[in-house]
Structure 1
Amino acid sequence: MARSGTIAAASPSTAASGARIDWVDYAKGICIVMVVMMHSVLGVELAAGQTGFMHVLVAFAKPFRMPDFFLISGLFLSLVIDRDWRTYLDRKVVHFAYFYVVWVTIQFGFKAPAFAAETSWQHVGLLYLESFIEPFGTLWFIYLLPVFFVVTKLTRKVPSLAVWLVAAALETAHITTGWTAIDEFCARFIYFYSGYLFAPYVFALSDRARKHPALALAALAAWALINAGLVAAGASEWAIVSLALGFAGACAIIAAGTLLARAHWLNFLRFCGEHSIVIYLAFFLPMAATRTLLLRTGIIPDIGTVSLLVTIAGVLGSLVIWQAALRLNARFLFERPEAFWIAPKKPGVRLQAAE
């Protein structure tokens, strides 16, 4: 039974009514918490020069953390890919470009003094301009999403199997050029395109997990053991293995999200999933502030505990910033103003960063 205001869709087309899909929000919630956890834990450990117990969780999630996020991002593309180019670019390119520009500027505002102290203000200006070619810091995800949307629409007349095979080959090749956009495109496009191409099968997987929870739990346990074993053995990033673990982990998170939605457990994760991009945009500030406070004061000596608290602060703090922005008439931080639309919008529609 789905929550009020949500549906347990069996296919993308049944979700076209605008109601939220419970398991999708749970899956996105799991992913965004893992993303915040990764940045928080690695940041704390780098600053402290030592690792804690949270490092194991970050390593475990590495094979599937971003693959699942990108796969889910492509799930509903079939519903909008036939739109005219103007509308499509407005919703799928300008939308994310707006938030990238806003938040890369905010991040530079906080980091510019430190950059200037190391080099010069002229160099800081060059770094800012470079951020529109080389994605800055934590914002590479929303930099890359519009590229995926455009490439997928441009290749619609190309046989889908050919596109999929090329994308799989790019991931398997583990291309490293030093340019984030190129490297991450090669590593992640396969998952986004698979979300678009195999969406009906993804929804069918969720439907089976909902109907057979015991079997789903057994499969999740087996996957967790295999994933952990390969990570511990250092084999998780081998060619082919990384691709298989990416897909397996994405399926596992989808099943886990479905089971949580079925039981109505951990509703906070569902809420985080509904506002995943809001969290993604804003978590860097409370994360960095909490990390600095805890490490400089030394009030908590255990690095693992510090990492956990910084993760919690990153998630909760970003939601506090979002709510403060709404109340202080700073909606432009999380809602794109009409002045930055290039295509008409439906009456009453207000696209937020999270959508």
Structure 2
Amino acid sequence: MTTSGTFAVADRAALSGTERIDWVDYAKGICIIMVVMMHSVLGVELAAGQTGYMHLLVAFAKPFRMPDFFLISGLFLARVIDRDWRTYLDRKVVHFLYFYVLWVTIQFGFKAPGFAAEHGWAHVANLYLISYIEPFGTLWFIYMLPVFFIVTKLARRVPPLLIWGIAAALEMTHVTTGWTMIDEFCARFVYFYSGYLFATQVFALSDRARAKPVMALIGLVAWALVNAALVYDGCSEWPVISLMLGFAGAVAIIVMGTLLAKMQWLGFIRFFGEYSIVIYLAFFLPMATSRALLLKFSPFDIGTISLLVTLCGVIGALVIWRLALLVRANFLFERPAALWIAPKKKSATLQAAE
């Protein structure tokens, strides 16, 4: 498939200005809920020293939770990859690095007293500096995106199937060096690159699911059964199987998003998807706060506490966003004009992908 073919589909989709694609936002909404759920559930269980019923759902989503997010992030790259380097770096590197620097500093502001109490302020300073080499906490996703954008543009004249084959091989080797950027690049780049390379097929898949919803539902049920069987049997992280489950799960999320968009059900998920990166940046604070309060004062079981913390993380992040806009602290979620290195586009609001 040629880059121009991908561009044609993305251009038809016209994700620019105020136009958006409904199923993409639904899919991103499902993704961000799963991401917040994972951090919330595992955090509650670690603090409580026991697991709850939400652990099963987190385990079920593990094979595809990040693959689908990265695949969707690469989906519209063909529309911008041939821009000049200055514009490209501004949109795809500086943009995300601004939010990484800002929010890693905010997170350290909240966590520094605890770190200092245990190891001293010198240790806190070292941790902060290291966070620019080793991504900190929940923010590794927006740290990795600029790396993927740069690698893809640099490699755009290399035969695409060769790049894809190398990326798939890296995923199946399950590289473990202890360095997040290396390990996550090897594990996730194949999905990001697939979003870029196979955009035509992705949109065609969505069109087929919209045209044949019954068959799409049957496919979702079959996928869910196979995914659950492999996860709970302990096979989901085996080489080849992990890659297949990653793509199968990404396809399932695309189909789910398409069916929800077709029926116009659960519109709040679409809203979450539209502001998925806003949620990703800010959910740590309401998540941590609600976790501490619920574990101390709530009469609920661990599973229910995990569910409530997930809800607080998602909704609380949006509340923080609205409050920031209300008090004119727009810089928390919008890059200031002074930090643009190319002519500013109409909307500066952070988006996961163009």
Q: Does 1:354 align with 2:351?
A: yes
The DSSP-based 3-state class of the residue aligned with 2:206 is helix
User: Does the C-alpha gap of structure 1 residues 69 and 17 become closer, same or farther in structure 2, counting only changes over 3 Å?
Assistant: closer
Aligned to 1:243: 243
1:11 corresponds to which residue? 9
AA partner of residue 308 (structure 2): L
Calculate the aligned-residue CA RMSD, in Å.
Answer: 1.1
> Shift of the alpha carbon at 1:17?
5.7
Q: Please give the alpha-carbon distance, in whole angstroms, between the structure 2 residues aligned to 1:242 and 1:216.
A: 23
Residues in 1 aligned to 2:41 and 2:270: alpha-carbon distance in whole angstroms:
23
Q: Equivalents in 2 of 1:214, 1:301: separation in Å?
A: 38
Show the counterpart of 1:179.
179
Q: Which residue of 2 aligns with 1:161?
A: 161
- For the residues of structure 2 that align with 1:317 and 1:206, how far apart are their CA atoms? 31
Matches within 5 A, 1:330-349: 330-346=329-345, 349=346
Unaligned stretches of 5+ in structure 2? 1-7
Partners of 1:110 and 1:167 in 2: CA distance: 37
Q: Which residue identity is paired with 1:322?
A: W
What corresponds to 1:106 in structure 2? Answer: 106
Distance in 2 between residues matched to 1:112 and 1:95, nearest whole Å: 26
After TM superposition, give the deviation of residue 164 of structure 1 in Å: 0.4
Q: Where does structure 1 lack aligned partners over 5 or more consecutive residues?
A: 1-9
In structure 1, what is the Cα distance between the partners aligned to 2:119 and 2:156?
46
Amino acid at match of 1:134: E
The within-5 A match list for 1:1-355 is 11-16=9-14, 18=16, 19-297=19-297, 299-346=298-345, 349-355=346-352
Give the structure-1-normalised TM-score. 0.96
Distance apart, 1:12 and its partner CA: 1.3
Q: Following TM superposition, by how much is the alpha carbon of 1:100 offset from its aligned partner in structure 2, in angstroms?
A: 0.2
What are the superposed Cα offsets for residues 220-270 of structure 1, whole Å, 9 maximum, x if unpaired? 000000000000100000000000000000000000000000000000000
Q: Quick one: distance in 2 between partners of 1:155 and 1:336? A: 28
Give the Cα–Cα distance (whole angstroms) in 2 for the partners of residues 244 and 320 of structure 1: 37
Whole-angstrom CA distance in 2 between matches of 1:16 and 1:131: 36
- Letter aligned with residue 57 of structure 1: L
CA shift, 1:296, in A, is: 1.6
Equivalent pairs, count: 344
Aligned sequence identity (%):
73
List, as ranges, runs of 4+ consecutive aligned residues in structure 1 with deviation greater than 2 Å.
none
> How far did residue 11 of structure 1 move?
2.6
TM-score in terms of structure 2 length:
0.96
What is the rounded CA distance, in whole Å, between the counterparts of 1:352 and 1:177 in structure 2? 35
Partner Cα separation in structure 1 for residue 188 and residue 299 of structure 2: 37
Q: Tell me if the contact between 2:152 and 2:193 (Cα under 8 Å) persists in the aligned partners.
A: yes
Give the C-alpha shift of residue 354 in structure 1.
2.9
Q: CA separation in 2, counterparts of 1:152 and 1:47?
A: 40
In the TM superposition, what is the alpha-carbon distance from 1:16 to its structure 2 partner? 2.5
Displacement of 1:300 after TM fit?
2.3
Partner residue of 1:4?
A: none
Q: In structure 1, what is the Cα distance between the partners aligned to 2:90 and 2:116?
A: 35
